[in-house]
C-alpha cells in the first residue's frame, strides 16, 4: 500500500496573445542579446538556489519542515527562469521584469 497522497499540483497558464509583435518576430535573433542581463543574474541565482536546496534537504532531515524562506527563493528563481524562457521562445511579447514576483 502506498502512502503517497496526490496533494501536489502544477498550474501553468499561458494566454493566447490577441496580437503578436512583428518587430519582435523579425528581431528574434537579437533576443538572447537583450536577455544577457537576466542570464547573468540568473546564473548566480541558480547557484544560490542549488546551494539553498541542499541546505533545505538537511533542514528537512533535522526539523522535518522545509523553511518558508527557502521555498520562496526556489519558487522565485523558477518563475524568473520561466518568464525569461517564455519571452525567448515567443510565448509572450512582454519583456520579463527583474523580480521574483509575478
Q: What is the pLDDT of residues 87-99, one digit of tens each?
A: 998 888 889 998 8
Domain range spanning residue 66? Answer: 32-89
Confidence band, pLDDT 50/70/90 cuts, at residue 8 = low
Is the residue at 21 inside a domain?
Answer: no
Residue 9 lies in a domain: no
Q: Report how far residue 92's alpha carbon sits from residue 90's, in angstroms, rounded to the nearest whole number.
A: 5
The interaxial angle of helices 68-89 and 36-63, nearest 10 deg, is 150
Domain membership flag for residue 60: yes
Instruction: Of 13, 25, 11, give the one whose Cα is nearest residue 93.
Output: 25
Residue 74 covered by a domain: yes
Whether the pLDDT of residue 101 is over 80: the answer is: no
How far apart CA 78 and CA 44 sit, in angstroms, is: 13
User: What is the arithmetic mean of pLDDT over 38-52?
Assistant: 97
Q: What does the DSSP 8-state code read for residue 56?
A: H
Does 79 score more than 90 pLDDT? Answer: yes
Q: Across all residues in the chain, what is the average pLDDT?
A: 86
- Rounded to two decimals, what is the model's pTM? 0.72
Q: What whole-number percentage of the chain has pLDDT above 90?
A: 53
Task: Answer yes or no: is 55 within a domain.
Answer: yes
Q: How many domains does the chain have?
A: 1
* pLDDT (average), residues 57-79: 94
Residue 85 lies in a domain: yes
> How sure is the predictor about 29, in pLDDT bands with cuts at 50, 70 and 90?
confident
What is d(CA 94, CA 24) in angstroms, rounded to the nearest whole number?
10
Amino acid at each position: 500500500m502506498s502512502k503517497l497522497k496526490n496533494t501536489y499540483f502544477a498550474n501553468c497558464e499561458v494566454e493566447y496573445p490577441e496580437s503578436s509583435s512583428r518587430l519582435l518576430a523579425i528581431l528574434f535573433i537579437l533576443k538572447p542579446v537583450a536577455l544577457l542581463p537576466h542570464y547573468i543574474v540568473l546564473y548566480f541565482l541558480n547557484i544560490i538556489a542549488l546551494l539553498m536546496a541542499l541546505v533545505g534537504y538537511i533542514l528537512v532531515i533535522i526539523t522535518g519542515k522545509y523553511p518558508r524562506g527557502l521555498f520562496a527563493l526556489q519558487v522565485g528563481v523558477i518563475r524568473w527562469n520561466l518568464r525569461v524562457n517564455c519571452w525567448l521562445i515567443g510565448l509572450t511579447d512582454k519583456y520579463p521584469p527583474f523580480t521574483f514576483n509575478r
